[in-house]
Amino acid sequence: MTLFDRALARIPGGVNSPVRAFGSVGGQPFFAARAEGPAVWDTEGRRYLDLVQSWGASILGHADPDVVEAVSRAARAGTSYGIPTEAEVRLAEEVCARVPSVDKLRLVSSGTEATMSAVRLARGFTGRDMILKFAGCYHGHSDALLASAGSGVATLGLPGSAGVPAEAVAGTVVVAYNDEAGLDEAFARHGPALAAVIVEGVAANMGLVPPAEGFLAGLRRRCTEAGALLIMDEVITGFRFGDDGAQGRYGIDPDLSCFGKVLGGGLPLAAFGGRAEIMDQLAPLGPVYQAGTLSGNPLATAAGLTVLSRLDADAYATLEASATTLADGLWHAINSVGFIAQVPQVGPLVGLFFSYRPVVDYATAQSADAKLYARFFHEMLDRGVYLAPSPFEAMFPSLAHSPAEIDEIVAAAADAAEAVAAAG
């Protein structure tokens, strides 16, 4: 019996998060045994250059020695107290110092918890119930945010999962990303009832889709005029795009921001924060309840503080340079053999769509050739490069990926593309 067979017998689908099952690309997933720097090894000893990096959490690379030492030191003093610690305060101070829009911060354990809590806080602060999200933007798996698009331009959401009651998303408006006309219609119809709009500053859960010029600024203006809060989901982009994430890159001042992944240094930690007058509505100061047993635990805060201490201007410049080399190399490798691929890059993030037209929203992302991506994925895996096992994810080159290793990935892509082309 294989390890996957054993997993299937006791874990639904054999995995503890759906995309890991390789359902989008076919085949069976490998099981990781260890990881170091830019690479991960499976249980059979095979090495892969890893462009997933725990879905963006491991910005320094896997098992960074400084992070391992910080977590080990913290663990020796106790893994969890359920009591305030100095490290929680230091991490909150560090985030507030780096992100001008954040006066106060609440630590939680996952991105889903951060976005769910931010939406609840927005509703409590405004006294309104409705929220607006964008098709293809993923904000975790809380009921209200698992809404899919309805039939109109700016319709109320439909449940995006079995088990989500229709009434849970009845107050969620879904609009296409980058759709100015859809936004105008949504605000005209629902503006006075909107508590908040939640958005990925750079959409990185439908592949990689940058905001159109002026899109985020227009969204900020509409929220201000309607009295709705703007929630920037920086779970992926926070502390990867620079100290102040996508909001700094595009000059947007959100009311609330959600962070995760990089902030936890590879451990379960996330946060939401914003203006003091809004954050002070949280219990124990205000009437909006939120709590968590492991929130701000000492292992995660130790990892997060260590990672942030390493992220300076030089580190961000190195990340972006690596991403540029990777994006350019992938584009030439794939398009030179007759395929048409879009390889978007925004700062340190890289995407890949097998599509004849630029991808600007979820609909155009869905129109890309997913079967071709799956074939390319397996050819890359055979050559020792691990891409995301889904066409709707981004690539995360880390600080541990050297120029030589980026070149190795590009060379593998050239071989893989030729193999796919030769197979017809």
Sequence-ordered list of residues with C-beta below 8 angstroms from that of 60, at least 6 positions apart, any chain? 66, 67, 265, 307, 310, 398, 399, 400
Cα separation, 27 vs 25, in Å, equals: 7
Report pLDDT digits (tens) over 163-182: 888 888 889 999 999 999 99
pLDDT, position 154: 41
Cα separation, 171 vs 169, in Å, equals: 5
pLDDT, position 156: 56
What stretches in the chain show pLDDT beneath 70? Answer: 149-158
- Assess whether 250 carries a catalytic annotation: no
- Assess whether 104 carries a catalytic annotation: no
Q: Which of these is catalytic: 179, 243, 250, 261? A: 261
Report pLDDT digits (tens) over 185-214: 999 999 999 999 999 999 999 999 999 999
φ and ψ of 239, to 5 deg: 65, 10
pLDDT, position 157: 62
The percentage of the chain sitting over the pLDDT mark of 70, rounded to a whole number, equals 98
Alpha helices in 161-297 (DSSP H): 180-190, 215-226, 245-250, 276-279
The model's pTM: 0.96
- Assess whether 81 carries a catalytic annotation: no
- Burial group, residue 261, by CB count within 10 angstroms (0-12, 13-18, 19+): buried
Q: Which of these is catalytic: 64, 104, 133, 138? A: 138
Q: Which of these is catalytic: 64, 233, 243, 361? A: 233
Query: What domains can you pick out in the chain, each with its CATH number?
Result: 3-59+312-423 (3.90.1150.10), 65-310 (3.40.640.10)
Query: Which run of H or E residues covers position 4?
Result: helix 3-10
- Across 291-399, the runs of DSSP E, i.e. the strands, are 345-346, 349-350, 385-386
pLDDT, position 162: 87
Record the tokens describing residue 27, joined without a space.
Answer: 């085949």
Tell me the three state secondary structure of residue 184: helix
